[in-house]
Chains A and B, each alone.
Chain A
Amino acid sequence: MIASDIPALEFRDVRKSYGATQAVRGVSLAIDSGQFVALVGASGSGKSTLLKTINRLAPASSGEVVYEGEPVAGLPLPALRRRIGYVFQSIGLFPHMTVGENIGIGPRLAKQPLAPNRIDELLELVELDADMATRMPDALSGGQRQRVGVARALAGHPHLLLMDEPFGALDPITRNALGESVRKLHDELDLTTVMVTHDMAEALLLADRVLVMDKGRIVADETPQALLEGGGGTVAQDLVAVPRAQADRLAELSR
């Protein structure tokens, strides 16, 4: 229980530049264990880059990212990445491996291959049939593929789940169903989740805490409730205004 005093994740003045471009300009914050955090912002706001500083797909240029008390810069790279679940917008299933092989790739790399029943269990977790394990990814629908992507991220029992625009390429119905599934998994498995999205509605509906990024800085750090009540400043409120206006018009139309 000592662990609960340490934040799951902490950013200490994290900066990231690509040449002359500064993508992240000094972010400091802590995320407690068990939180579902949405990182929202427009394209180019630096939200994806900030996420990637955690598993060092984009290592921080300066500052420190601390995961469960350990600076990530000091951890061996493959081991660090295997301890963190990662879900991509492009899904990135390996087209030459079966669904089961895709799910088991992390543990296989760690030389602890998954038992077949564990793969069935993971498929069940993401609400897919166990007989999908032998299929190839190109035989699956987009939504099914991303469910496999989530199962792959969870295979190594991670405490932290990172999602980079996970539902961006999916149709609205699939998107909604998958969002609810992920939130359910987050609660059932006691995960700490950081989800990058440009969709404020998705962030408000799924997350416990919403971080708004603009030009490489965090400009708002609020609960969904606080944002809906007008908190977080102009950039955040501009983003909240869009789904709010849509909801109002839908309400008007159905009256």
Chain B
Amino acid sequence: MSEIWQALLNLGDQLSAHVLLSASAIALGIVTALPLAVWASRSATVSRAALGFASLVQTIPALALLALFFPILLSLRAVFGQGLPTLGFLPALLALALYALLPILRNAITAQTNLDPGVIEAADGVGMTFWQRLRLVEAPLSAPYVMAGIRTAAVWTIGAATLATTIGQKSLGDPIFAGLQTQNWVLVLAGCIASAGLALIADGLLGTIEKGLKMRRRLLTLGGAAAVALGVAAAALAQFGGTGERRIVIGAKGFSEQYILARLIGRQLEAAGYSVDYRDGLGSAVAHRAVSTGAIDVLVDYTGTIWTNQMQREDNPPRDTMLEEIIAWESRTSGTHVLGRLGFENAYGLAMPRAAAEARGLQTIADLGPVAGTLTIGGDPEFFERPEWMAVREAYGLRFAERRNFSPTFMYNALKSGEADVIGAYTSDGRIAADDLTILGDPRGAFPNYDAIVLLAPETGNDAAIRAAIEPLIGAIDVAAMRKANLSVDREEDKLSFEEAARQLAERAGL
């Protein structure tokens, strides 16, 4: 219990970011939906079109909607210039506002169409203008219904905002995604409790306003509104009330190693006097894009990932040649700096329980070819979409009986429980040794090299002091140390926090 309390108390920053994001999205939803509802009440065509659009948006999964705003904003840069952010607050705000639109719009339109026609005629009859009628009659009579819609929108938005973590916006999704990654249920629970609690409080306060409007009790309405305003103001103060100093944003993709390395880099920067902020749980493509556009300042990426996914290369040169080409390519295309290798490789490899591999006499991926038809392969959601997998499949003619997606953590459990026979594993993963797995050999060299490298955003990389703070990490982390650190957060018992794992890793690396 005390662990959850501790985790909850650490969520202040995420909570205030979550409140601000949700409040902004709902506010944007309201200012869009209300004029639209007024227009719709005057025209059946507009009403149909607006409700149709809002319902359509609602059918898109929230996660996909958030992700879709990345390419949309990217293409809008042609209009608004390169300064338009494509990750973080803006896309999260737009996607969530779209999501909030439907309940507000539907309730507002329903309220308008259900107004007593006699009352509307009376408003015209006593000589009200369009605006007077809206302000004095239609708005106050519709207000309780509109408020009910806003309430629904608030609960949805606060829940969906946890997904903003995946596009690089700080939210209460941070602990949920991080905890899911490492089976740290305390973190997951803390994130869920905080976001559910926030939704309940918002629902209660907005419900008070709704009740005040319905019963025409001004005090109740104003009291509820004041409480909401106070909460949002407190969140804004917490987010922006700091010294205004520059914070260095360190990105991490959604797996344990990335979380630990981000904290390791964060320690170095903090020791050099910088304030840091983390953007955790980014998708692979999103993360690379984020660092090359300056949405984040620092990222640990892997040579093979950039080579095949960003550069779309299919050949497989020696590791030094690959790194040189990557450095040149990054510098040419975006000006992103490659600071250097951390010193270990985290390759994709096909892993099996050692006992099972030996029983079947499997040593390399080539041995897998003839028996693949009887086996199930598991991989993280990205794995089967990556060009590396396509290359391996082609090179060895692999045709598995079944293919299943797991989050990286659950993949190892699947192997244990027999739900998968082979998995696309990461070679720096501590569970390979802990679970007694074997990595099948790759005699045809289908998997490229995956040296971990530190990337700095174009402007960040020009800052000599920042470079100097991170530079001691270059070449300092060997694969054994990394595996140990990964295992310390991934194991089922006695898990370390990312911060503690990073501290021990730094110690082992002699920093």
Enumerate chain A interface residues (CB-CB to B < 8 A): 55, 57, 77-82, 86, 88, 90-96, 105-106, 109-110, 152
Contacts and interface: CB of A to CB of B under 8 A. Distances in A.
A171 to B, nearest CB: 19
Interface string B118-152: 11011111111100100011001100000000000
Contact of B124 (A57, A91, A106): A57
B118 A88 contact: yes
A96 B122 contact: no
Contact of B118 (A55, A80, A90, A109): A90
B140 A96 contact: yes
B508 interface: no
Contact of A109 (B117, B132, B141): B132
A105 B119 CA distance: 13
Contact of A90 (B121, B141, B216): B121
B127 A80 contact: yes
B122 A106 contact: no
Nearest to A78: B127
A94 B127 contact: no
A99 B141 CA distance: 16
A92 B122 contact: yes
A92 B128 contact: no
B122 A93 contact: yes
Contacts of A55: 125
A106 B118 contact: no
B140 to A, nearest CB: 5
Given A81-B126, A96-B216, A106-B126, A88 B141 contact: no
13 contacts: A77-B127, A78-B127, A82-B127, A88-B118, A90-B116, A90-B121, A92-B121, A92-B122, A92-B125, A93-B122, A94-B137, A106-B126, A109-B126
A109 B136 CA distance: 10
Given A90-B117, A90-B122, A106-B127, 16 more contacts: A78-B129, A81-B124, A81-B125, A86-B125, A88-B118, A88-B121, A90-B121, A92-B116, A92-B122, A94-B123, A94-B136, A95-B119, A95-B141, A96-B141, A105-B136, A109-B127
A84 B39 CA distance: 29
A96 to B, nearest CB: 5
B503 to A, nearest CB: 62
Closest A-B pairs by Cβ, 9 of them: A92-B122, A90-B118, A81-B127, A82-B127, A78-B127, A86-B125, A92-B118, A96-B140, A106-B126
Contacts of A82: 126-127
Nearest to B122: A92
Contacts of B216: 96
Given A96-B140, A96-B141, A91 B118 contact: yes
Contacts of B141: 95-96
A94 B116 CA distance: 10
Contacts of A95: 116, 119, 141
Nearest to A152: B126
A80 B117 CA distance: 21
A91 B125 CA distance: 11
Contacts of A94: 119, 122-123, 136-137
A254 to B, nearest CB: 39
Contacts of A77: 127, 129
A57 B119 contact: no
A78 B136 CA distance: 15
B209 to A, nearest CB: 16
A106 B124 CA distance: 11
Interface in B81-134: 116-119, 121-129, 132
Contacts of A93: 119, 122
Nearest to B128: A109
B115 to A, nearest CB: 10
B199 to A, nearest CB: 30
A78 B462 CA distance: 67
Contacts of B117: 90
A60 B405 CA distance: 70
Interface centre among B121, B129, B140, B216 (most CB of A within 10 A): B121
Contacts of B136: 94, 105
A136 to B, nearest CB: 8
Interface string B216-229: 10000000000000
B27 to A, nearest CB: 25
Contact of A57 (B118, B121, B128): B121
A9 to B, nearest CB: 17
Contacts of A78: 127-129, 132
A254 B228 CA distance: 72
A79 B126 CA distance: 9
Nearest to B213: A96
A205 B162 CA distance: 73
A215 B132 CA distance: 36
A82 B125 CA distance: 8
A57 B127 contact: no
A110 B127 CA distance: 9
Contacts of A57: 121, 124-125
A164 to B, nearest CB: 9
B221 to A, nearest CB: 13
Nearest to B132: A109
A88 B127 CA distance: 14
A96 B118 CA distance: 14
Contacts of B128: 78, 109
Contacts of B124: 57, 81
Nearest to B129: A78
A221 B216 CA distance: 49
A77 B127 CA distance: 7
B325 to A, nearest CB: 72
B127 to A, nearest CB: 3
A152 B119 CA distance: 13
